[in-house]
Amino acid sequence: MIIYKFGGATIRSADAVKNLANIVRSYDQKLVVVVSAMAKTTNAMEEVVYLYFNRKDPSEAVLKVKNFHYSVLNELFPDHSHNVYKRIGGLFDELEKKLQSDPGLNYDFEYDQIICYGELLSTVIVSEYLSDEGIRNTWKDIRKALKTDNTYREAKVDWEVSGELVKKEFVFRDTDILITQGFIAATVNNLTTTLGREGSDYTAAILASLLDADQVVIWKDVPGVLNADPKWFDDTILIEHISYRDAIELAYYGVGVIHPRTIQPLKNKDIKLYVRSFIEPDKPGTLISNQEYQKLIPSFIFRVGQVLLSISSKDFSFIYEENLELILGIFARNKLRINLMQNSAVCFQVCVNNDKTKLPAVVKDLEDHFTVSWTNNLELITIRYYDDTTIARVLINKEKILEQRSKNTIQMVVRDMG
């Protein structure tokens, strides 16, 4: 049994759903298909949540989501008496009923109860379309099996309970294909939760681990894991093989293709992960596995819009453990991720994203105890498997402000002079 995961971009239109069907059709053994919401539906649903929670009229925002899905339906199912219209209509009715009730006080809770419709809609469409194409499959509501705690929007998986339920629910009875939702789950009381944005790769990894799958394939709109974002380099290289360890490191430094939490469950059970192109499904893509590879291609990760904060003690005393605990606590409480940190005797420097709400909150808290100064408009460049040539290449027209090196990785905070 293997797991396929299709993200929003791979099902962004009726044509993309047809393409998905072709990919699924060409595999003839047991298959679990994890699907996320179509195109940018989750963003559109976030707008609905925002309006609902703030007691503003969400109907126009809902209409946008509706129009998009019905335009896809019209293309895929010209016969309007098709059962899919009843099912999709039913989901929108449920959603609208929810939106007519009064919102509770917990934003994150309300978010999860509403945002889940993106995945419910997409999986119903995919499942019905596959059936129409003669590809027999069973639609599964993952919330019956994947159980989490009640940390809404960032729910933690209950591995024990989920393990039992997933093995019971995800059995192949009448069909060899099961279709289910990424990203969403539920508490033991059946209230919907989510695993964090972009969480459906993680869902695929969880199911793979619980069901002892042979492999996971994440279908993407890129050829696989590239050594740099094509946005920055026009001569990017496809990395054909990469170890779990390197994949985790790259995800940590900001390679967007792999969701950081996806690797761990797979690594623990030695389940291979492929990242492949849904545009060129015959190409092998990238294989992520336990094997360490000798031929190491340098990878480049660029983060722009960085801010370097310099935090020093007001009385010129040293930055010791107690201060560090205080400083890091402030970042953790405000959920602002530190991209790089460096310590000297009386100054602690951190590089962070220029987050319009979290950063001012952090600075305010820090200023109760420390003197804080900052520099805006910087870039953070990370090179894994660096050498002098690769460093020289990224430093053209840049002024280097800070540097940190380990054996395999260099990180530089730079200012663009070009």
Residues that bind ligand ASP (CB under 6 A): 7-8, 36-37, 42, 118, 182-183, 197-200
Q: Which is nearer to ligand ASP, 193 or 409 (CB)?
A: 193
Q: Which is nearer to Mg ion, 8 or 265 (CB)?
A: 8
Among residues 187, 46, 183, 58, the alpha carbon closest in space to that of 123 is found at 183
- Where in 7-47 does DSSP place strands (E)? 31-35
Task: Match 């979290």 to its residue by tokens.
Answer: 358
Structure tokens, 371: 């003197």
Determine phi and psi for 329, rounding to 5 degrees. Answer: -60, -40
Q: Which helix (H) or strand (E) holds 367?
A: helix 358-367
Task: Match 């602002």 to its residue by tokens.
Answer: 336
- Least distance in angstroms from the C-beta of 42 to ligand ASP: 3
- Least distance in angstroms from the C-beta of 259 to ligand ASP: 7
- Least distance in angstroms from the C-beta of 69 to ligand ASP: 14
Q: Which is nearer to Mg ion, 256 or 360 (CB)?
A: 256
Cα 97–chain centre separation: 29
CA–CA dist 64, 59 (Å, integer): 9
197 binds, among Mg ion, ligand ASP, none (CB under 5 to 8 A by kind): ligand ASP
- Least distance in angstroms from the C-beta of 140 to Mg ion: 19
Q: Which is nearer to ligand ASP, 34 or 247 (CB)?
A: 34
Contacts of 36 by beta carbon, 8 Å cutoff, 6+ apart: 5, 6, 7, 8, 11, 42, 118, 119, 122, 181, 182, 183, 200
Q: Which of 8, 199, 223, 224 binds Mg ion (CB under 5 A)?
A: 8
CA–CA dist 321, 327 (Å, integer): 10
Q: Which of 10, 19, 36, 227 binds Mg ion (CB under 5 A)?
A: 36
Among residues 46, 72, 180, 210, the alpha carbon closest in space to that of 129 is found at 72
Among residues 148, 146, 132, 196, the alpha carbon closest in space to that of 34 is found at 146
299 binds, among ligand ASP, Mg ion, none (CB under 5 to 8 A by kind): none
199 binds, among ligand ASP, Mg ion, none (CB under 5 to 8 A by kind): ligand ASP
Count residues contacting Mg ion (CB under 5 A)? 3
CA–CA dist 241, 154 (Å, integer): 31
- Least distance in angstroms from the C-beta of 195 to ligand ASP: 8
- Least distance in angstroms from the C-beta of 40 to ligand ASP: 8
Position closest to Mg ion via CB: 8
- Least distance in angstroms from the C-beta of 4 to ligand ASP: 14
58 binds, among ligand ASP, Mg ion, none (CB under 5 to 8 A by kind): none
Q: Assess contact for 69 and 38: CB atoms under 8 A.
A: yes
Q: Which is nearer to ligand ASP, 62 or 378 (CB)?
A: 62
Q: Kindly state whether residue 192 participates in binding Mg ion, applying the rule CB under 5 A.
A: no
Q: Which is nearer to ligand ASP, 183 or 348 (CB)?
A: 183
Tell me the window of 12-20, 35-43, 229-237, 286-294 that interacts with Mg ion (CB under 5 A): 35-43
Q: CB atoms < 10 A from the CB of 242, how many?
A: 26
Q: Which is nearer to Mg ion, 72 or 383 (CB)?
A: 72
123 binds, among ligand ASP, Mg ion, none (CB under 5 to 8 A by kind): none
C-alpha torsion 181→187→146→247, nearest 10: 80
- Least distance in angstroms from the C-beta of 37 to Mg ion: 6
CA–CA dist 102, 111 (Å, integer): 13
**Which residues of the shown chain bind Mg ion in the complex (CB under 5 A)?**
7-8, 36
